[in-house]
Amino acid sequence: MKKILLLLLVTLPFSAAAETTHDLSWANGGGSVNQSLTIDVGDTVRWTWGAGTHNLRSISGIENFDSGYSAAAGNVFSYTFNQPGATSYQCDPHASNMNGTINVTATSEPPTPPINEDFFQLSLGEPINGQSHSGIGNLRGWAISNNGIVRVEIFIDGKYAYNAPYGGLRVDVEAEFPNVDGSLLSGYSLAFGYADLGAGQHTVRAVAYDSLGNSTEQSSTFNVVDYDKNFINSNEVVDLSVSNISASGDEIMINDASIGQRSYNLKLKWRTAEQGFEVIEIQ
């Protein structure tokens, strides 16, 4: 419905300014002296010859035209005026008796299409698409719309899970989108138990809705790495004293980590989004 209204608004001014054809006589009987006509850009003037031999030629002004001579009564010369401004013309043999001026006024400019102020964007920062997650981490991102964000829905592996709390402080988003209303408080975030999903590939999808009912979304497909159990309790010993720990680039390898009476090989990797190291491999 909205689109139909917009189309009407855009097309109406054009149809209202449809080109018109104006008829004038072109004869030597006194009826073609000091012709004066004001028309719109794009209009056509059509002169119809009376008796006698006449031409019709522009002599000053914006446009240039010359009908050439015709001795045929009923001969017609048409000219379409596409530029605003005045043009004077005459019949050369009867210049004092057959002359005139056409004034062309610019039609009102068609309105420029309304600027699309519907800015609507959602970003899912974590989980990180294509990466590994483990344990408990964040599910977070931001959503902004000039029409206001009503809610952010979270889908896990294709199923609706819950609405994410929305309204968190995002100074960085406001800095990037200062002209979008509400960008300062555009964050959504919650603690997320990645391990609860179980090891393997999973997808989280965040869908934002604005006040007009529009939606936009982003998905992340990621890998969950897991210990034998989903949660290492506080009474379970984590002991790295016999581990072999090495580092390469932004990764830390911990071999023979004793966790809850089991031995694991772990790989940790620096995560910019998390500003910390995340366990990305558990063996």
Contact residues for 174 (Cβ-Cβ < 8 A; gap 6+): 183, 184, 186
- Distance CA(56)–CA(93), nearest Å, equals 10
Q: What sign has the CA pseudo-torsion 192, 198, 200, 205?
A: negative
Q: Does 35 bind Cu ion (CB under 5 A)?
A: no
- Distance CA(83)–CA(183), nearest Å, equals 47
Q: How far is the CB of 100 from Cu ion (least distance, A)?
A: 12
Q: Does 27 bind Cu ion (CB under 5 A)?
A: no
Q: Which of residues 82-141 bind Cu ion (CB under 5 A)?
A: 91, 93-94, 98
Quick check: 66 and 77 in contact, CB under 8 A? no
Site stretch for Cu ion (CB under 5 A), options 47-55, 177-185, 237-245, 253-261:
47-55
- Distance CA(122)–CA(144), nearest Å, equals 6
Closer to Cu ion by Cβ: residue 51 or 171: 51
Closer to Cu ion by Cβ: residue 8 or 95: 95
Q: Does 54 bind Cu ion (CB under 5 A)?
A: yes
Site stretch for Cu ion (CB under 5 A), options 52-60, 107-115, 202-210, 271-279:
52-60
- Size of site (CB under 5 A) for Cu ion: 5
**Helices (runs of H) and strands (runs of E) counted in the chain:** 2, 21
Q: How far is the CB of 55 from Cu ion (least distance, A)?
A: 7
- Distance CA(277)–CA(249), nearest Å, equals 12
Residues of this chain that bind Cu ion (CB under 5 A): 54, 91, 93-94, 98
